[in-house]
Chain A
Amino acid sequence: MRTNESSLVEVSVCGEVWPAAAARDPYKATSEGRAAVTLGMAGISFRNRVGDPAFGWEADHLEPGVSIRNRDDGAEHALHYLACMGNDAVVTSGACRGARGTVTGEHAHVLVDFPPSSIELLAIGDQVQIRAFGTGLALLGHPDVQLHKCSPRLLDALRLESAPDGRLQVPVVAEIPSHLMGSGAELMADYVDQDFMSGDRAEMARLGLDRLRLGDIVVVRDQDHTWGRGYYEGAVTIGLIIHGDSAWTGHGPGVLDLMSSRSPAIVTVDDPDANIAWRLGLRDPATESIREPGAVSSYAAIEKV
């Protein structure tokens, strides 16, 4: 796949391991009108990594791995806009200095996966630096496809091909219909993710979306995410599942835009293994026991009224 990789600039951005935060009054109404407190964002997720199920945790917007942020507003936005999926990260302070990881998401924080043994002593406040590389990346043979936050390393892992008719062919785990795209529609496509709405639990089961994993590559039909995020018949968007499910109406697992075309310039093929955890070599199901999907969160088990 020909790209303009040789013209890209590689630059450092950084953040620190960011603490989880809760309001003094932490209760919110779930989609069935129950008060709930659920955490899941920020900090170090000791038990959850990319590759785990996206559903079934007692958590809200679960951010796998290590969540980092920069306390300076400008540097924080540089971290958000320049860090690309698959970029290399390194711990630059504290007891785990030198530990190497990989960017796997961008949500309220930038999400970095590390081998667990390398971050046992990682602390809140430790510095993590990212070699940001990918902004401006383009597929030279597919001018109608706009890339977002793709590193060259991720592009290789996606196993892209040119279809016989010349369109870009992308292996995906699942398809998310346009009417499920929710929170995040108000944002530009280069800023964080857009949740798919999981509040209709029967629909989740019918479509099999409740078996998705963090790190899965998905297609969203009829959504144009070249600049903003909106409905457009025939448009195709390819996304990455970056965070877990949610109890709140209009929310659900996060879909980070990787590529989008307003015209039908992208075709997909089914590939149940299209997950960055294994395609980037971060985890290996052959040597590691990884939890299977199927668990149901308490907030999702409540019958609709």
Chain B
Amino acid sequence: MFDNREQLVGVSVQGTIVSPEYPPLPATPYVIGADGRPQLLPSQGGIVYNVRVGDTAFGWLADLVQPGVSIRASAEPANQALNVLSCLGNEAIVVSGMATGERGTVIGKSGRFAEHVIVHFAPETLEQLAIGDNVLVRAFGRSLALTDYTDVQLKSISPQLLDALEVEPAGPGVLTVPVAAEVPAFLVGAGSGLMHESGSIQIQTEHKSPLAEHGLDDLRLGDVVAVRDYDSRWGNGYLKDAVCVGVVVHGDSPRAGYGPGLTVIMASTANRIRPVVRGERNVAELLGLRGSVEAAA
């Protein structure tokens, strides 16, 4: 399978590790759950020590928890570049503070819900990091395209992750993509109509039984999943027989319309992407982000 990676340009984008944030007074810090109950929970951002890619996406007492480290550029145009150009699987390098020189991997983008890029680092690196440290991303992968599958759009995906996905030809212009699960379009909530080159679409979880029916209640952060009848080529929205593939980048939420979020990495129409559910399909394993000892534990 041929692609255009030889033509791509690698470029630096950079952010700083952001603090969790709450709206200033007189606003209250509560998240209003789907049932109307206010809850005080950690918001997105900061260095998350004990939730990492590969862990479950459910059950954490946090709103949309982003595993590892969340970064943002202080100027809005630069942050847009950080969010748009960063690709899942890109290398991130700490360029200030005690962990200078340590390397990590881009594992998600939260888009309008926080405008963060989410980066995985080894646990010993997390210990050295501080809010405000600068993290440079070697952005590489935007405009990546498969030569014989031009109607399948690739988005926010590095060549390394593309290679690890094990996509296979399935006829003229058609690809199979191994995934951990399939999401029906009606379960996509927040994210429809919003920015699709940098953000996430949310698998809504207010009603639990459809999640179990579709095998989505045991999703893990980093899982590769497909959404059926969902068009993410030029935006995010319903279209029969369109399919997008995304990676779970953040955790669940008590809010209506919210839940584990997907950063889109592939999009097409007319069933040109054929998902194949294969159980374990997680970027932590596909990109070798967690050691074998850890994975066994």
Contact = CB atoms under 8 A, between A and B. Distances in A.
* B185, B193, B269 pick with most chain A CB within 10 angstroms: B193
Interface in B243-276: 255-258, 269-270
30 contacts: A29-B234, A30-B234, A33-B234, A179-B186, A181-B192, A182-B193, A183-B193, A186-B191, A186-B257, A188-B32, A195-B193, A197-B192, A199-B237, A227-B32, A227-B33, A228-B32, A228-B258, A230-B206, A231-B186, A231-B257, A232-B207, A232-B256, A249-B196, A250-B236, A250-B238, A251-B237, A304-B269, A304-B270, A305-B269, A305-B270
A203 interface: yes
Contact of A230 (B34, B112, B185, B269): B34
Given A226-B36, A231-B186, 7 more contacts: A33-B233, A183-B237, A185-B202, A186-B194, A224-B256, A228-B257, A249-B236
Contacts of B256: 189, 224-225, 227-230, 232
Contact of A199 (B34, B187, B231, B270): B231
B234 A32 contact: yes
A297 interface: no
A251 B35 contact: no
A231 B237 contact: no
Nearest to B186: A179
B234 to A, nearest CB: 4
Contact of B192 (A185, A200, A233): A185
A184 interface: yes
Nearest to A233: B207
Interface residues of B, number: 42
A202 B242 CA distance: 14
B40 interface: no
* Secondary structure dominating the interface of A: loop
Contacts of B239: 31, 199-200, 249, 304
Q: Is the interface of B mostly helix, strand, loop or mixed?
A: loop
Nearest to B193: A183
Contacts of A189: 256
Given A29-B234, A179-B238, A197 B207 contact: no
Contacts of B233: 31, 33, 249
Given A188-B32, A230-B206, A231-B207, A250 B187 contact: no
A266 to B, nearest CB: 17
Contacts of A184: 193
B190 interface: yes
Interface string B162-195: 0000000000000000000000111101111110
A178 to B, nearest CB: 5
Contact of B151 (A232, A249, A305): A305
A11 B198 CA distance: 42
